[in-house]
Structure 1
Amino acid sequence: MAREVPALQAVELECADEGLAREMTRWLTHLRAERRLSPKTLEAYARDLRQCLTFLAEHWGAQVTLKRFAALEATDVRAFMAMRRADDIGGRSLMRALAGLRSFGRFLEREGKGKVGALSAIRAPKIAKSLPKPIQMAAAKRFADADERAGEERDPWILARDAAVMALLYGSGLRIAEALGLKRRDVPKPGEGDVIIVTGKGNKTRMVPVLQNVLALIANYVAMCPHSLPPAGPIFVGARGGPLSPRIIQLTMERLRGALGLPDSATPHALRHSFATHLLSRGGDLRAIQELLGHASLSTTQIYTGIDSERLLEVYRSTHPRG
């Protein structure tokens, strides 16, 4: 039976009439319940739409009504995008804003509240393509070695915990939120299993293999941890026994990358990038890597083919006799 999603608090807008505010509330509820978008994405979409409506109210010199919004013209949308770009807003943020506005327009159309054709006539802003920066294989392995931090004045169990988390990020390609969201019952003991069930974006679950040496590191941390770790509780906990904050792992990597002489791009998420890139460079199947990473679209995973191609070209240029 599907879990009932409580209604969102009604949106209140000074720049728009009650009818438009009501449709905005219904749209956000739809995105959360049906599309299962994350709270951060919902917050960003709501903020973008508010900014657009505020701009339109000033642009038109009147409160935005549902009827007037449905009659939106392409010039109005371009004026809003130009205003946002003048505020030094990047291409990705502008693209997200346009995606949110289009989503709201499609929702109004499905509900019979009008057709906002101007939104589909606007081209998405161009954004510079940036490839993820993976960490070299040898360095990625060192992040999972607690001995690398032997000189730090920290409890041994905390060093073991951090090493286990980073080994899991690199060994299974998890997002940091996925790793820290694992319950103790989700992680098998060494020799008793080799997969974990991970809850990713949109509360979607997937099965991910986990290496025995990673399970051994986790088991070592669990044995050293001074706090109670019940089966239904988080397996990774903070110094006081509560859920472990992602910021702790981020700070740990900041210290380690300084000691290892790595750039600022060496973040917890870079371990996930490294997992994908290193699998691909060793002949991993792109579809299989897509499943392991939990990407909804293969096009998202294909970015790693660009990384591998760049690496091969670099080797070619530096080693070919005619290079």
Structure 2
Amino acid sequence: MSLEISAACRDALQDWLDRQGALADASDNTLIAYRTDVAGFLAFMAGHRGGPQGLKALERITTPEIRAWMAEARSRGISARSLARKLSAVKSFYRWLAEREGFDPTAVLSARAPKFQAKLPRPLAPDAARAVIDQMEQHSQTPWIAARDAAVITLLYGCGLRISEALGLKGADAPLATALRILGKGGKERVVPVLPAAREAVEAYLRLCPYPKEVEGPLFRGVRGGALNPRAIQGAMADVRMQLGLPATATPHALRHSFATHLLEAGGDLRAIQELLGHASLSTTQAYTAVDTARLMEVYDRSHPKA
């Protein structure tokens, strides 16, 4: 695909990506997605116009051409949600390019993203989350592995960590203090409080773990002593949810959603929850208010006299 893009466009794209990485603090995965989305757009325009396009040609892209790109993406089965993300990346690139080159980007920036139904987080009920942790302590016949998996799951639910963040902890982080300094997506750092239950779960795992703690080594070890693969936790969670009769949405990440939703239901402040989760934008955290409202309406529908 990139062979169909002119050298000037490739250079401009790389300059923009470098800026996103340096100034916007975008993560590696985000930069890869940006590159794929914008390169795909530029390649489409090259094919649409019959050959590689220079920067001056990009300045003259019209609204109908933007619509043609979107229609072609939809015809390939790209979902409305994914297309909206791609358009957002293209607009961001064009906004930067227009400022650098001095042209009017209105034709691109005025393009409307397709409408889609935003997916709400799918948290577990509080009793289901507790049941998962209890069952995780028994799911493996090897005691240290059962204790390890329970400790990881407890951190996800008790601290709102991403699985990559929990598995990124080092031996130097143990014994856990009352707060953890976590380096999240895009290098964004945050401090999260650690509940006694999470500290105790990690201590129980360390007492049973057959491998010595190494300051610079991974806190959570795999069967052979290396860093624990997230697939092991995902597999354990799949076993446990089957035993408990929970839906397929009961994944390790759902425990992070549960952490946020249960805090909100208990009266937690939305901005404080944003900080605890490490969300760059409050709008991301606001999805949990929709979950809270949806649950309230379910209760209302079940209990209202006119229901």
- TM-score normalised to structure 1 length: 0.90
- Which residue does the alignment assign to 1:220? 204
- Does the alignment pair 1:315 with 2:302? no
Higher mean displacement: 107-116 or 201-210 = 107-116
Please state whether the residue corresponding to 1:49 is helix, strand or coil: helix
- Could you tell me whether the CA contact under 8 Å between 1:175 and 1:272 is conserved in 2? yes
Alignment pair present for 1:272 and 2:249: no
Equivalent residue for 1:160? 147
1:258 aligns with 2:247: no
Aligned length: 307
Who is 1:81 aligned against? 70
Moved more, 205-214 or 24-33: 24-33
Residue 207, structure 1, aligned to residue 197, structure 2: no
Conserved? CA contact 2:123–2:261, under 8 Å: yes
Aligned-partner Cα distance in 2 for 1:290–1:164: 24
Which structure has more helix as a fraction of its residues? 2
Letter in 1 for 2:207: A
User: Could you tell me how far apart the structure 2 residues matched to 1:186 and 1:282 are?
Assistant: 29
Is 1:186–1:197's contact at 8 Å kept on the other side of the alignment? no
Deviates more, 1:209-218 or 1:296-305: 296-305
Matched, 1:298 2:282: yes
- 1:258 is displaced (CA, Å) by 0.4
Q: Secondary structure at the match of 1:226?
A: coil
What code does the residue aligned with 1:144 have?
I
What is the alpha-carbon distance in structure 1 between the residues aligned to residue 116 and residue 259 of structure 2? 26
Q: How does 1:216-255 map to 2 (within 5 A)?
A: 216-255=200-239
1:106 maps to 95
Cα deviations by residue, 1:19-62 (Å, 9 ceiling, x for unpaired): 11111121122222222212222111111222222211221112
Shift, 1:74, TM fit: 1.0
Cα displacement (A) at 1:103: 1.7
Distance in 1 between residues matched to 2:105 and 2:294, nearest whole Å: 42
Aligned-residue identity in percent? 47
Report the alpha carbon displacement of residue 183 of structure 1 after superposing the two structures with TM: 1.8
Distance 1:105 1:120, change over 3 A: same
- Give distance in 2, aligned partners of 1:18 and 1:285: 49
Aligned partner of residue 145 in structure 1, secondary structure: helix
Q: Give the alignment's Cα RMSD to 1 decimal.
A: 1.8
Q: Distance in 1 between matches of 2:136 and 2:60?
A: 64
Query: Could you list the runs of 5+ residues in structure 2 that have no partner in the other structure?
Result: none
Q: Identify the residue that residue 13 of structure 1 maps to in structure 2.
A: 2
> Which residue in 2 is equivalent to 1:3?
none
Counterpart residue type for residue 122 of structure 1:
A
Match of 1:14, SS?
A: helix
Which aligned runs of 4 or more in structure 1 are off by greater than 6 angstroms?
Answer: none
Post-superposition offset of 1:147: 6.2
Asked if 1:131 corresponds to 2:120, the answer is yes
| 1:41 and 2:41 aligned | no
Secondary structure of 1:144's aligned partner: helix
Give the one of 48, 52, 55 matched to 1:66. 55
User: What is the identity, as a one-letter code, of the residue corresponding to 1:184?
Assistant: G
Quote the offset at 1:218 in angstroms: 0.2
**1:183 maps to what in 2?**
170
- Partner secondary structure for residue 72 of structure 1: coil
Greater RCO, 1 or 2 (C-alpha within 8 Å, sep 6+): 2
Q: Structure 1 residue 319: deviation in Å?
A: 2.0
What is the rounded CA distance, in whole Å, between the counterparts of 1:301 and 1:14 in structure 2? 39
